[in-house]
Amino acid sequence: MKLKEYHWAIALVAMLFGLMLGVQFQLTSDSHQDDPSSERTEKLAKQIEDKKAALKQLQSNVEQMRQQLDEATARPELGRLKKRLEEVGIMAGTVAVEGPGIEVTLNDSSIALKPGQNPNLYVLHDEDVLKVLNELKAAGAEALAINDQRLTATSEIRCIGPTILTNGNKRLAAPFVITAIGNPDTLDSALFMKGGVAEQLKSWGIQISANKLERVIIPSYSGAISYYVNGGEQA
């Protein structure tokens, strides 16, 4: 009789132990399901993975588009069109350019005036600057700038008191630094030839000097660009 009671006691303990394990498992499972922080972490982790995948896809698309663009521009007709566009941009001044060239510095006369002399004869005027610019153009200058202002076919050079005006509203004061891209030797020789522009200006004491450079940088045109359509001006 005592042996049977002992067996029943063991069975009862086993049942209670099993019941406790079941309840514990259920509580643990429920806590994981109901824990909002755990659920939010999982969602954020998934969103990050989704974003990474989307970014990888975008990068792949960009590389494909770059490859297609390179292939398109490699075609002979498009390559010629691109080169022509660059040439027009240089002539119009809409793109910055660099290359060998010359840097010319102009400044007012250093001669001390005598009583009765006209001071206007010993200071730089717009016509003096224009003579230098025209000589450089005639010598093959491909691009020109004065005091970092890109000059185009429509850029004006006008006297405004002690300054000159260019590109609509850009006032520049001496000294004037003219940069030109072209053959440095040819440009320099054109300015300083016997009886040339430099000699004429020096006769009035105007200071003019030039440096031949392997690399000259000329910025793009910074003014407003106007064009004409059917006789009407558009800006």
96-218: CATH topology is Alpha-Beta Plaits (3.30.70)
Of the two residues 26 and 114, the one the predictor is more confident about is: 114
Task: Provide the pLDDT confidence category of residue 18 given band limits of 50, 70 and 90.
Answer: low
* Residues 187/180, Cβ–Cβ less than 8 Å: yes
Sequence ranges of the domains in the chain = 2-69, 96-218
Percent above pLDDT 70 for the chain? 67
Of the two residues 43 and 173, the one the predictor is more confident about is: 173
Q: What span, in angstroms and rounded, lies between the C-alpha atoms of 74 and 68?
A: 10
Mean pLDDT of the chain: 77
pLDDT at position 209: 95
CA atoms within 13 A on the CB side of 17: 6
* Residues 177/104, Cβ–Cβ less than 8 Å: yes
Q: Which residues pair with 217 in a beta bridge?
A: 98
The model's pLDDT over 92-113, given as tens digits with 9 standing for 90+, comes to 777 888 999 999 999 988 777 6
Extract the tokens encoding 42.
Answer: 């999982």
- Class of residue 230 by CB neighbours under 10 A (exposed 0-12, middle 13-18, buried 19+): exposed
* pTM reported for the whole predicted model: 0.61
49 pLDDT higher than 90: no
pLDDT at position 224: 62
